[in-house]
Structures are given as C-alpha cells and as structure tokens.
Amino acid sequence: MTRNPTNGHLLVAEDDPITAQLLQKHLGAAGYQIIMSTNGRDAMDTLGTREIDLCLLNMHLPQMEDLALTQAIRKSDRVIPIVFLSARTTPESKLRGFRFGCDDYVAKPFNIKELLWRIQVILQRIHQQVVQADPELLRLGKFLFQPVERTLSWDQQSHRLSAKEANLLQLFCDARGDAVPRDRILENVWGRSDYFTSKSLDVYLTRLRKLLRADESLVLQNIHGFGYKLIQR
C-alpha cells in the first residue's frame, strides 16, 4: 500500500535555486518528505536507491537531454506519478509532456497552493487504487507475506517492505523454488538491466536476506552466473 498521501516521499528535481527553495519549504511544511535533485543524473540515481511516491520535475534539467529523465523513469517504473514544472505554456509543450508520460503539467510561475492540491489529488487517487485491491496472503516458512499491503509478519512482529523489496519477494514466491535469472529480476523490478540497477539489486537482496534470517529454514540462494532462488530447507 502506498504511504499516506499527506506524508509521501517526493523527488523534487529543480535546477533553479529560488524555485527549489520555495518547493522544499512549502512541500516540507505540508508534511511531505522531500528529496532534492538539481540535475537529471542525480535524480535518476536517487530513484534507483530510494522509495519515491511522486516525482516533481523541471521539464528541462541539466545533465540529461530534453525529457530524457522522464523516458528513463518510465522504463524503470511505469506507474510512479510524474508532475512537470515548466515555463513553457504552449499547448504543444503541454501535449508533448503528456505524450512523454507525465500525469500533470504545471506552468511556471505557479500558485503553491494549487500545486499542493494537485499533488495531494494524485497521491490520494493512487492510495485509493491500492487500498481497493484484493489483498493476497502468502505463507513463506514462518512468515506471512501480504504483497498488496507490503507487509512481512512473523512471531507477532510485522515489517513494512519497500515497493522493490515486496516486488522482489513476490517474484521469488511466484517462482516456487525455481531459480530466477538476474536479468529477469532487473527487467521485472527495475524495468531495465544496467550497471546502476545491478548495484541496486545487490542492496535490496541484502535487505531481504536480513529480514529472512528470522526463519533459518529459508535461504535466498545465489546461483553463480545465473541468478537467485528462494528455497526452504
């Protein structure tokens, strides 16, 4: 389940320092957790290592060609909301933004109250979509795994998984003990296979292994040169 729409994690990619300061101040005051980036490369790296609920992007950022960041985001995550901020207000510019995959387009200069409202509406819509989905309960050794709620429960304890942790665990559960190729994991969870996503996968596998230590019968096994499989001994 997505975080409460009033305290979600927002990636704000804005290279203008005055606009960036304004956004950080007001979005933070509204209860959001803000991760700031000033260029496209830094924003993409952040998305590979942090759980983000919504991206608020300057439509034209340094260190990435025109709208290249949006294309890269959509390849790795088809559903994360993207809101564009742009000084270009022509209908052609707006249509181009929507064609590239944005969920909303806000022209500069913008009214901060209107922007906050637009963000809240998008996050609430996604929150409701997830809440209304039918939860599925999976038993995994001593664990109970709820993919929709993204919770892993055991021994009267409960841990909230990140979206990528839950997606990884779901992939291993679906494999039913068979090995899952590394490239397939990257394509399914990150949407692409490259150096950066490969490093990110290693981080998330380490996190899952730490969680699964609560049941010594479960092993997330490395199949050298191929991939991984989750087995119960």
DSSP string, the chain: -PPPTTS-EEEEE---HHHHHHHHHHHHHTT-EEEEESSHHHHHHHHHHS--SEEEEESS-TTS-TTHHHHHHHHH-SSS-EEEEES--SHHHHHHHHHTT-SEEEESS--HHHHHHHHHHHHHHHHHHHHTSPP--EEETTEEEETTTTEEEETTEEEEPPHHHHHHHHHHHHHTT--EEHHHHHHHHTSS-SHHHHHHHHHHHHHHHHHHTTSTTEEEEEETTTEEEEEE-
The per-residue pLDDT for 125 is 78
Give this prediction's pTM. 0.57
Instruction: Delineate the domains of the chain, giving CATH numbers in brackets.
Output: 9-131 (3.40.50.2300), 138-232 (1.10.10.10)
Residue-wise pLDDT tens for the chain (233 aa)? Answer: 345 555 688 999 999 999 999 999 999 999 999 999 999 888 888 887 777 889 999 988 888 766 788 888 877 776 788 999 998 888 888 888 888 888 899 999 999 999 999 998 888 877 655 444 445 678 888 898 988 888 999 988 889 898 889 999 999 988 878 899 999 999 888 888 888 888 999 999 999 999 999 988 899 999 999 999 998 87
